[in-house]
Amino acid sequence: NAGVTQTPKFQVLKTGQSMTLQCAQDMNHNSMYWYRQDPGMGLRLIYYSASEGTTDKGEVPNGYNVSRLNKREFSLRLESAAPSQTSVYFCASSEIRTGQETQYFGPGTRLLVL
Amino acid sequence: AQSVTQLDSHVSVSEGTPVLLRCNYSSSYSPSLFWYVQHPNKGLQLLLKYTSAATLVKGINGFEAEFKKSETSFHLTKPSAHMSDAAEYFCVVSAFTSGTYKYIFGTGTRLKVLA
C-alpha cells in the first residue's frame, strides 16, 4: 500500500498563475482533507470531504477550490496564486467510524508563490 | 468547542535524558487525542492515540502519553532521548462535526536533542 500520495512535491508559481495539487489514497477511506502548514501555526484545515460527493470549507478556504473526483482522489486548486499561499500543503485521509478516525498524511507539497 | 494548547514551542534535552512535551486540551465531551511527529521536510507520522480506553497510551519509538481528565492534559514523555527524536511534535484533538472527524492541531513543539 502506498497510503496517501501527493503530486507534485515542489512547485514554484508566479502571482496570478493557477495550479492543481493532486492527492490519492489507497486505503478505501471515506474522508479526505487538505491542510496548509505555516511556521508557528500548526496545520490548518482548508477543505475536507466527509465522503465521496461532498466537500466543505475548513478554517482557511479563501483562494482555494477542491474536487472529490472519486473515493480515492481529492484535488486542491489555486485559481490565482498569491504570495500568501506560499506554504506546505498536506493531504490526509481517514475513516469516519468511532475509534477509526486516525488521519493518515501524505508527504506534502511545497509551494512557493513569487 | 475543542482546542489544544502546546505549552512549549521549543524544548531542548541532552541525549539520554527524559523528554516531556506538554499539551492541554479543551473539549466539551470525551475527546480523542493524538500525538504526531514530523521530521524535517517530511510528512506527519502518528506516534500514539487516546480514544477512551486505557489512560496511559504507549506509542512507537518508546514514547507514551497519559490522559488526565482532571488536568485536561495529554503530555508526551520518553524516558531517554535519542538523537533521532529531534523533530517537531504536534498534539491533536479530534472533533466529530459535519459528518466526519476533524482535527484541531496545536502549534507544535520543536524538540532539540543535544549530544
Whether the predicted pLDDT of A98 surpasses 90: no
> What are B42's three cell numbers?
517530511
Residue B101 confidence class, pLDDT cut points 50, 70, 90? confident
Instruction: Quote the percentage of chain A above a pLDDT of 70.
Output: 97
What DSSP state is assigned to residue A62? T
How many Cα neighbours within 13 Å face the side chain of A25? 26
Taking the Cβ of residue B7 and every Cβ of chain A, the question of whether any pair is shorter than 8 Å is answered with no
Give the Å distances, CA to CA, from A111 to A78, B37, B100, B113. Answer: 11, 21, 28, 29
Mean pLDDT value across residues A18-22? 97
Which residues from A are below 8 Å from B32, CB to CB? 101
pLDDT digits (tens, 9 = 90+) for B11-45: 999 999 999 999 999 987 778 899 999 998 889 99
Taking the Cβ of residue B3 and every Cβ of chain A, the question of whether any pair is shorter than 8 Å is answered with no
Residue B71 confidence class, pLDDT cut points 50, 70, 90? very high
Give the Å distances, CA to CA, from A96 to B3, B66, B95. Answer: 20, 25, 11
- Written as one letter, the residue type at A51 is S
CB contact under 8 A, B9 and A104: no
Q: What is the pLDDT at residue B52?
A: 76
Give the Å distances, CA to CA, from B29 to A13, A83, B24, B61, B101. Answer: 43, 39, 15, 30, 14
Q: What is the pLDDT at residue B51?
A: 82
> What are A100's three cell numbers?
477509526
CB contact under 8 A, A96 and B107: no
Query: Which of B98, B102, B107 is facing A42, going by the closest CB pair?
Result: B107
pLDDT digits (tens, 9 = 90+) for A44-91: 999 999 889 899 999 999 999 999 999 999 999 999 999 999 999 999
> What are B58's three cell numbers?
504507549
